[in-house]
Structures are given as C-alpha cells and as structure tokens.
Amino acid sequence: MSAPHRNGAPASLGCPLSARKGEVIVLGHGSGGRLTAELVSRVFLPALSNPLLDRLNDSAAVKVGASRVVFTTDSFVVNPLRFPGGDIGSLAVNGTVNDLAVTGGQPIGLSAAFILEEGFPIVELEAIVQSMRTAADRAGVSVIAADTKVVERGKADGLFITTSGIGIVAGKIELGAERIQVGDAVLVSGPIGDHGIAVMSAREGLEFQTTTISDSAPLNGLVSEMLESGGAIRCMRDATRGGVATVVNELAKSSGVEILIEEAAVPVRDGVRAACEILGLDPLYVACEGRLVAITHSGASDQVLAAMRRHPLGSDSRRIGVVTRSATSRVLLRTAFGTTRLLDVLDGAQLPRIC
C-alpha cells in the first residue's frame, strides 16, 4: 500500500514511511542503547516484574540471613573470540565479576554455561577455558557450577558463554543511583574505549593495525580500595556496552538528575581516538570491559580518586563531570570550546560512516 502524498507538493519532496520496527529482533536491540531499553520495558519487565528486577541494577541484592547477597548474569557473544588483550573466556569472567563489584559485592562464586557449535575445535575451547581459569584466579573467584550444550553447525557463532555470579556485600556498604545528589562528582577509572577498539581491530573485514589492547579486567580489587578509602561513594557502574555515555545516561535517568560531562576531561588514548576518527565513532559510546564510572560526594572525590590512582587498574582515573540539577534526567556535554550539547543514549548500533 502506498502512502499518501502531501497536498500540493511534488512527490519528490518527501521520503518514505518505514514499517515500525518491533515485529522482529534487530541487531540494535542488543546494542545496550535505546532499543535495548525499549525491549526491556516492553517485553521483559511486564512479564517478569518484581521489586528487585525493576531496579535494573547491574546485580540484584537479596538478604540471606544477616548477609546481603548480590546476584547477576551476563551472556557473551563477542566476535572475534580472541582479540588483543583477551578472549571470550576472560571477558565472561571479568564481566560478571564487575557487575558484582560495582554493586559493592565481593564475588564468591561463578557459574558458566557454554553453547558450542558443532565443528568447533576442542583445542580452541581448551585455550578459552584456560583463559577463564586465569581470569578467575586473578579476580580471586572460582567457577563452581557449569553446563554445556552443543547445537548444529550454523546455529551458533562458534561459542557463546553465559556466566552468573554471586557475591557478598559487606555490612556498611550502601550504593545506589537513588543516593545521587546535586553537586556530586563523576569519576571514571581510566581511558575509555580500549576494549571496543581492540575488538574492532580484530574483526573480519575491518582489520587495522593498532597498539590498543582490551581493558578487560576484574574490578573487584579496585572497588575494594575505593570503598576502603572512606570517601562517600553514591554508586558505581561498569561502562560496558554503549560506553561511558550510556552508563552516565542510565545513572541520570534512574536518579532523576542532570549530569554535565567535561569533554576535555574524559581520558581517551591516542590510538582509540585515531581509530574512532577513522571509523566515525564517538569514544564516549565505545565499550569498555575494565572501567567503571563512580559518583561521589563532591567533597570526597579527591579522596576516592587518590585511592583509585593507587590501584594499577585505576592509575589514570579522572574526574569528568558533575551532577548539576535535579528534576531533569539528562546528560550534557561541555565541549572544549565552551559550547554545550546533549549527550544522548545510543540509538541502535554505532555504524561506521560512509565518507
């Protein structure tokens, strides 16, 4: 069926109506941006809603006796399986450890489920599982439950891994986006975008030479240092899919505040900047796997920053912004020229530009 013409205007002046997406899953639903949020609110929350899930935190906290236990799960479908600085195995361990860590939990055990494609080389699986072991040792956690399924060739992209994790939150720790207040400082634990660029540099059809290696790392040690510093930390998030911009937007939304990010203060390595220039990407939206964003009381930011910088995974930590207002959920970016623009969430996947 054709769409009607605008009255009196030549047909060439308009452009076509697209069928509303939503009938089938598109790749953008997995980007961590607006489409993912839409899927969560339209499909998952209506069916599964409960007070713990509805908070949409990286991990859910439940009281078990006198202890607070945090629980989380995450699937890993990275392509390629190996990239500079890591592989799907270490990523699957670090990702879940980090989701526990940023909610204040010390990980006590992980599970790992493997979906293997028929024909996948066992020697490659061995290397990936060994890499999981190394990553788990580094984080001080064990894989205490596991499962394996095999699907026919063509039904999976080599190997998918899902990890879940439980952790214990120490007594006094209280973290949450609802604690954010006007005047608070926004900190980031190091240069952003390394993981996304490292993966892209190894992706088929896009191979480019870079010295950038993934930042994939367990953040529980860094988080412990931060919590022990005694500075008032309101909340933390690890900046994975969708990058720092997406995480800061999530924080602004769930706490109902306006956050101002100073573009010049955001640490980005030259190699990442260069790759982003070539590909037409904004580093603020490129994934990290070993960086966190923390919101602290403004008076505590120096104390927390000092603690972060003492840890090897936080040595390049920076203060990148401030919570400016309440009652309006958005993120603004101040450029080096003093102009200000909206730093929105990503719509679908970031696509390399044409020219």
Partner 1 sequence: MKFLDEFRDAAVVHALIGQIRATITRPWTIMEVCGGQTHTIVRYGLDELLPREVALVHGPGCPVCVTPIEMIDLAIELSNRPEITLCSFGDMLRVPGSTRDLFDARAAGGDVRVVYSPLDALELARREPIREVVFFAVGFETTAPTTAMVVHQAARLKVPNFSVIAAHVRVPPAIEAILCSDENRVQGFLAAGHVCTVMGIDEYRPLVEKFKVPIIVTGFEPVDLLQGVAMCVAQLEEGRAEVENQYARSVKNEGNIAARDLMAEVFTFVDRRWRGFATLPKSALALSDRYAAYDAIRRFGLTQTRANEPIECRAGEVLRGLLKPPQCPAFGNSCTPDHPLGAPMVSTEGACAAYFRAGRLAAAATEAK
Q: Which is nearer to partner 1, 280 or 299 (CB)?
A: 280
The least CB distance from residue 15 to partner 1, in Å, is 4
- Which of 172/353 has CB closer to partner 1? 353
Place of tokens 């790749």: 27
CA distance 305 to 292: 12
Of 31 and 103, CB closest to partner 1: 31
In the complex, the residues that contact partner 1 under the rule CB under 8 A are: 2-7, 10-21, 24-28, 34-35, 38, 205-206, 270, 273-274, 277, 280, 332, 335-342, 344, 347-349, 351-355
Q: Which is it for strands 105-117 and 143-151: parallel, antiparallel or unpaired?
A: parallel
- Nearest distance from C-beta of residue 255 to partner 1, angstroms: 19
Least CB distance from residue 109 to partner 1, whole Å?
A: 38
Cβ proximity to partner 1, 228 vs 277, nearer residue: 277
Closest distance between partner 1 and the C-beta of residue 170, in Å? 41
CB 288 within 8 A of CB 238: yes
d(CA 64, CA 68): 6
Residue 216 Cβ vs partner 1, minimum distance, rounded to whole Å:
24
Q: Which of 197, 205, 315 is nearest to 267 (CA)?
A: 315
- Least distance between partner 1 and beta carbon 211 (Å): 14
Give the nearer residue to partner 1 in terms of CB position, either 149 or 203: 203
- Shorter beta-carbon distance to partner 1: residue 23 or 152: 23
Q: CA nearest 232: which of 318, 303, 316, 178?
A: 303
Q: What is the DSSP string of 222-280?
A: HHHHHHHT---EEEEEE--TTHHHHHHHHHHHHHTEEEEEEGGGS---HHHHHHHHHHT
Closest by Cα among 323, 316, 315 to 296: 323
